[in-house]
Amino acid sequence: MEDQNIIKQAISRVGDLIYEDIKQFCDNYEFSKKEKRCIDHVYKGVIREYKRLYPEVFWIYPPEYRKIRKEILARDKNICQLCGNFGNYVHHIDYNKHNSNGTNLITVCRDCNTKANYKRNFYMKYFRNVLRERGLVK
């Protein structure tokens, strides 16, 4: 069971790294929108292949996450806690997808969810502070 979790985390991390690499690659070389779409397509293809080869391993979100996800969106009234627009993404503040504690989850919009993939230390502090100010964590 423990091995399974280690594999899951490793694959999830590999997925994140591939994604970050592709993003940085796109930012460094000014690709056109069309080229970016192609690159995104390739990335999704890689992930799809991973899922096909390791279906049970690739399920990176633990089952309890599905339930608490809805509670977090309700708690935050579907408001992105970064920009204030409508949000329906639940972000893991410590970037650990296995930590489904309510104090580690926060509602964001799609754009801010992408944004929070960078400057991780900054956003970790930022979101913790948001929850602190709302009195949701000590």
In the list 11, 72, 82, 105, the residue contacting Zn ion (rule: CB under 5 A) is 82
In the list 90, 112, 116, 131, the residue contacting Zn ion (rule: CB under 5 A) is 112
Chain center to CA of 10? 15
CB of 89 to Zn ion, least distance (A): 9
Largest CA distance in the chain: 46
CB of 76 to Zn ion, least distance (A): 11
In the list 37, 48, 83, 88, the residue contacting Zn ion (rule: CB under 5 A) is 83
CB of 6 to Zn ion, least distance (A): 33
**Contact between 93 and 101 (Cβ < 8 Å):** no
Phi, psi torsion values for 79, nearest 5 degrees: -105, 130
3-state secondary structure of 105: strand
Which residues are at the interface with Zn ion (CB under 5 A)?
A: 80, 82-83, 109, 112
